[in-house]
Structure 1
Amino acid sequence: MSEAVLMELQGVVKSFRSADGAPRLILDDVNFTLNKGEIVALLGKSGSGKSTLLRIMAGLIGADAGQAHYRGRPIAGPALGVAMVFQSFALFPWLTVQQNVELGLEAQGIAAAERERRADAMLDLMGLAGFGGALPRELSGGMRQRVGIARALVTNPDVLLMDEAFSALDVLTGETLRNDILELWDSQRIPTKGILIVSHNIEEAVMMADRIIILSSGPGRIRQQVAIDLPRPRSLDSPAVRALIDQVYALMTMRPAGEAHTAATAAKQIDYRLPETDVSRIEAILELLAEAPFNGRADLPQLSEVAELQDDELLPTYEALGQLGLALIEDGDISLTALGHSYVQAAQTLRQEIFGRQLLSQVPLAARIRQHLDNEPGGSLPEQPFLDLLEEFVEKEEAQRMLEVAVEWGRYGEAYEYDFHTGRLTLPDK
């Protein structure tokens, strides 16, 4: 392995067991290299295996097949030289900030005096000087994440892995912390030689990364790579940056020719992972798209800015609009279909009628629920058989989420009713 290569994955495969014991493929034939001096961002929809891939690289879980190496050596557990920052801060609430930051050093057997010196220096670098004696509950979300990053960096890692490290923060706090990390990196005030970021934020990826990798879903495979040679710091108002954001949005929402048929087929299957969005958001985006200045057609990044929603909220909504036949997404743009225009102009009762009709014709899970209810003499069934059916294909938590989406959409479209207390689905009273 070249001296310039920090981490390398070759043919990595990872599966987890479904409720019935059958393997469910999460990652398939992933090949990836992280080189010295680069920041790489991983983008992908829910279910693409981004976090799983990061955990394999961190040595927290093993691959089922293929090889994962750090500096030419197989990764067989957490490696010295690799540190990880989590989305949830992952601080011990009963320890002070100083004690949380020293944990990694203590695990390495560093003497107490040296631990204190290095932790103090890192807290100062991260803008936390004076907070060493505070408990995590005394800090804001942004400051808690600074502690998490300080704890990772104090061990002087070669490689820093960041799993949606800014997503739990408000936009301004996340942007400030992101810029601080970039300033430390670009000024070489930290010894880290490579950073890998899992993100759901396209703008964040473009502003930070030297290279963006886009994963496909179900299972996760590397679908596209985008090299970025723009100097940092980058301005969101720069035409070159805006063009890159447009390009990545287009790549995130398009389906390569080889996947188009597969995607269309998958959407017709009972186990198709319904996008995690609700009716109110679907209608809000439809109405926003129909109004000036868009008038039925919008550039996705511009629509995102006006909507003031994160990409992990918008991308599933776009997918739902496409699946329901209310909008088309193509080349980074979204446009209302004729049905979408009619939907926006319709009164509430007609909206629900259109939604229900499209739901039953385009969403297999909803159609299956309605079919079984129609065939049931009493027009009522418990939810459990549908959960059992879904758990043949996905994990229990995902099955529950999918059914919750199908229930909300079905209730709105008056395709069926649901009693939360009894967990029963019933035909609507017409």
Structure 2
Amino acid sequence: MKLLEAQGVRKGYRVGAQERVILEGVDLELREGEIVALLGRSGGGKSTLLRILAGLILPDRGEVRLRGRRVEGPAEGVAMVFQSFALFPWLTVLENVMLGLEAQGMPKGERIRRAREAIDLIGLSGFEEALPKELSGGMRQRVGFARALVVEPVVLFMDEPLSALDPLTAEGLRGDFLDLWLGRRLPTQGVLVVTHNIEEAVALADRILILQGSPARIRWEIPIPLSHPRDPGDPRFRAQVEAIYQALTEREEVEHRLEEELLRLPEAPVSRILSLAEAIARLGGRADLPLLAEEEGLEVDELFPLLEALELLGFARVVQGDVELTPAGLSLAGGDLETQRLLFAEHLLRYVPLLAQLHQALLGRGQVPEEWALRRLEGHLPPQEAQRVLGVVREWGRFGGLFLWDENARAFRPRGE
């Protein structure tokens, strides 16, 4: 039975006189008795889609239906667990959990009874009168789960619910949640979880949906036909992880890259780009992405911007779930600091149009104000994204020795001034 269905969902935002479309033609469904995981690159629209499904924001086009009824506002029968614990610090555990029931107008006695049951269910019995500051991170997130479950939602949404926790705590809470789900002790009938942790998705989900593209759509649906409990060391588990990495790194063929995409530089510090190149070189110049992520302790949202930077700058190629350094990438990984700076500068000028334009302007003008670059960025990107990209431009260009940055004047200056 379908619990939740989205058809033809589209969402865009105005950027000056232009519109930036985030989601286009998104179709998905969540069926009774299943956990579905939603994966995709950072900034690819996952959280936006989740909020549309929950009725917190409306799509520009298309529709969402919950148990056959169109969702046109905050949906009844839906609850969400967020990445941040979002607890009121002046309220006790019991009072935090009761909040949703109070909003429903439930009598106080019934609210207390239901809240205590939810607190016991998630393993916090005895902490009802504790304040959030007296709890560990894992315990605070358990309160978040209890607050969502106490309203007995038909559908439970989870937006990276364990990413703020250390790996051991996250594993314990994930296992406890799965035990409750498999034991049919949860009031909810279906779960949709947004995560950047591929192993977590394979451990939990019956199906995995991958959101890709610009604008984004559901490009891949990968069933996970493994019985619980699932062993991460099982070759079948590893094969599923490999398949997801491969899907995430495949790109649709396009003849022309939009100017916006050429401007949208990944959030990738130079030190970490160099470190990743050196790690790939140590593995023989070509590395399996799951192995590389494990060796370097990187999750998807950390690994993929670094891979994107290496690809963008011509230092690596990502093919079928592996990354391979180009000859320039091998030189970058094996060179001394001065060689790395020179190579980086050469590739910035070759592959990043904005930096090439900025460098040319500096040769002609002697100083270029920050507004010069921002105008070019804000013509295609939202202001906050333009500021983020400008920060990347400053860091990459300064490392490559293309310019100096004058903080007081908020301007770029040629080297040697």
Q: TM-score, normalised by structure 1?
A: 0.94
Q: Which residue of 2 aligns with 1:276?
A: 267
Q: Which residue of 2 aligns with 1:17?
A: 14
**Counterpart in the other structure of 2:210:** 214
Preserved CA contact (<8 Å) 1:210 1:227: yes
| Amino acid in structure 2 at the alignment position of 1:159 | V
Matches within 5 A, 1:311-390: 311-376=300-365, 379-390=366-377
The residue that corresponds to 2:170 in the other structure is: 174
Q: What is the deviation of 1:23?
A: 2.2
2:297 counterpart residue number = 308
- CA distance in 2 between partners of 1:383 and 1:403 (Å): 9
CA deviations 1:321-347 (Å, max 9, x no partner) are 111111111111111111111112211
Given that 2:263 and 2:377 are in contact with CA atoms closer than 8 Å, whether structure 1 keeps it comes out as no
CA deviations over 1:95-115 (Å, ceiling 9, x no partner): 111111001111111111111
CA distance in 1, matches of 2:89, 2:358: 45
**1:284-336 CA distance string (max 9 Å, x none):** 11111111xx2211110011111012211011101111111111111111111
The aligned counterpart of 1:424 is 411
- 1:247 paired residue among 237, 240, 243: 243
Partner of 2:119: 123
Partner of 1:265: 257
CA contact (8 A) 1:46 1:217 kept: no
SS in 1 for 2:263: coil
- The yes-or-no answer on 1:103 pairing with 2:95 is no
Structure 2 runs not aligned, ≥5 long? none
Shift of residue 365, structure 1, vs aligned partner: 2.2
Q: 1:269 offset after TM fit, Å?
A: 5.4
Q: Is the CA contact 1:84–1:161 (under 8 Å) kept in the aligned structure 2?
A: yes
Of 174, 183, 191 in structure 1, the residue corresponding to residue 179 of structure 2 is 183
Aligned partners of 1:26 and 1:219 also within 8 Å:
yes
Give the Cα–Cα distance (whole angstroms) in 1 for the partners of residues 223 and 126 of structure 2: 40
The DSSP-based 3-state class of the residue aligned with 2:339 is helix
How big is the shift at 1:21?
A: 4.6
Task: Tell me if structure 1 keeps the 8 A contact 2:262–2:352.
Answer: no
Contact residue 48 and residue 221 of structure 1 kept, 8 A: no
Using the size of structure 2 for normalisation, the TM-score is 0.97
Secondary structure at 1:213's aligned position in 2?
strand
Structure 2 CA distance for aligned equivalents of residues 30 and 137 of structure 1: 40
Alignment of 1:5 with 2:20, yes or no, is no
Please, what is the CA RMSD of the aligned residues? 1.5
Structure 1 gaps of 5+ residues are none
AA partner of residue 376 (structure 2): L
Q: Which residue of 1 aligns with 2:399?
A: 412
Contact 1:271 1:394 survives alignment (8 Å)? no
CA distance in 2, matches of 1:396, 1:134: 42
Letter in 2 for 1:101: V
Structure 1 contact 56–62 (Cα < 8 Å) conserved: yes
Q: Which amino acid counterpart does residue 105 of structure 1 have in structure 2?
A: L
Instruction: Find the partner of 1:236 among 209, 232, 243.
Output: 232
2:62 is the counterpart of 1:66: yes
Q: Distance in 2 between matches of 1:84 and 1:21?
A: 34
- Offset of residue 429 of structure 1: 2.1
SS at match of 1:265: coil
User: Does the Cα contact within 8 Å between 2:249 and 2:321 map onto a contact in 1?
Assistant: yes
CA contact (8 A) 1:290 1:341 kept: yes
Q: Which runs of 4+ in 1 moved over 6 A?
A: none
Q: How much does 1:201 deviate?
A: 1.2
Secondary structure of the 1:231 match is: coil
**Matched residue type, 2:118:** M
Q: Distance in 1 between matches of 2:8 and 2:254?
A: 25
**How far did residue 136 of structure 1 move?**
1.5
1:7 alignment partner AA: L
Residues 360 and 415 in structure 1, CA contact (< 8 A), matched pair in contact too: no
Work out which of the residue numbers 377, 382, 387 in structure 2 matches 1:400. Answer: 387
* More deviation, 42-51/242-251: 42-51
State the 1:22 CA deviation. 3.0
| Contact 1:91–1:148 (CA under 8 A) maintained in structure 2 | yes
Match of 2:193 among 194, 197, 207: 197
Total equivalences in the alignment? 417
Q: Deviations over 1:323-377 (max 9, x none)?
A: 111111111111111111111221111110000110111112222221222221x
